[in-house]
Amino acid sequence: MTFSAATSVTGRGDGSYAAEIEPGWDIFGVTNGGLLLALAGRAMTEESGRQLVSVTGRFVNPVSSGPVEIGIETLKEGFSLTTLRGMMSTGDRPLVTFSGSLSGTATARASAVMTHGEPPPLPPPEECPRLLPAGDAPLPPPFAGKVECRLHPDDTTLGQDRPGPPQVRGWFRLTDGELLDPLGLVLASDGFPPAIFFSTLPIGWTPTVDLTVHIRDPGPYEWVSCRFTTRFVDGGWLEEDGEMWSQEGRLVAQSRQLALVPR
């Protein structure tokens, strides 16, 4: 099943949408946060007829697969930005509360460009090993089979003792020849193993508390090169910052999530 089919929603014309979480997009049996946020983004995109610029999801309860309801409220339809908020739930059980800003125009309000950063240095995709589900072990998870995530050859060994902040770098694309649009970039932002898996910190369930994705250029893209970094683990929390770059070397999206540190 393609990503766009897995994130399709059926609107009822009153801001409410029905959707189905397909099996297999999970990690430890819990559906990937990026997929849920992309589903929320799909509903906001359809509701507004605009393109996603910024989305935040706060994850309330875990969900495996099955039907969900998405309720959207349009808070403001502005000239440059439309603002919405919404809730994804199953029955009385809230799953994700989210909000988003969507743009109606591809014309930037200001033309200034400044870049202090570089795409991760990556060999071509075919020289980066693809992450594939383990099948009979929890990691890599079933989710890995739903996307094409190719890791930097130096970032394939879990539990490495390396200098510098924990990071994971690699290429990301959708399967079935689908291109990455803003919703695909939301998926990419939570589509890699946690950066801390490539450090000496404990490896385990790293639940996302909140995830924000900012889209700088809607694309579409076949491949994006990605870098995820965690600089601070403290108080039981960690942040993971993501950058997604086009093959032409332009930053096209940024993400940050707060997650619980595995025990």
If you ran DSSP here, which 8-state letter would residue 179 be given?
Answer: P
Min dist CB 191 to a second copy, Å, is 20
Would you list the DSSP string of 139-170? SS-GGGGGEEEEE-GGG-STT---SSS-EEEE
Contacts of 122 (CB under 8 A, 6+ apart): 128, 152, 169, 170, 171, 225
CA distance 59 to 42: 17
Residue 92 interacting with a second copy (CB under 8 A): no
Is residue 105 a contact partner of residue 47, using CB atoms and an 8 Å limit? no
The count of chain residues that interact with a second copy, using the rule CB under 8 A, is 58
Using the minimum distance from each CB to a second copy, give the nearer residue, 73 or 127.
73
Residue 130 interacting with a second copy (CB under 8 A): no
Residue 193: both structure tokens together = 């193993």
- Residue whose tokens read 């929890």: 138
Contacts of 146 (CB under 8 A, 6+ apart): 3, 6, 24, 25, 175
Using the minimum distance from each CB to a second copy, give the nearer residue, 38 or 44.
44
Residue 116 interacting with a second copy (CB under 8 A): yes
| Touching a second copy, residues 170-199 (CB under 8 A) | 199
Residue 30 interacting with a second copy (CB under 8 A): no
C-alpha separations of 198 from 90, 117, 194 in Å? 35, 22, 8
Residue 63 interacting with a second copy (CB under 8 A): no
Using the minimum distance from each CB to a second copy, give the nearer residue, 32 or 82.
82
Using the minimum distance from each CB to a second copy, give the nearer residue, 22 or 239.
239
Residue 91 interacting with a second copy (CB under 8 A): no
User: Can you tell me which of 9, 37, 81, 188 binds a second copy, judged by CB under 8 A?
Assistant: 81
Using the minimum distance from each CB to a second copy, give the nearer residue, 15 or 145.
15
Where on the chain is the footprint of a second copy (CB under 8 A)?
53-54, 56, 58, 60-61, 75-76, 80-81, 83, 85, 87, 94, 97, 99-101, 108-117, 164-166, 199, 201-202, 209-210, 212, 214, 216-217, 230-237, 239, 250-251, 254, 256, 258, 260-263
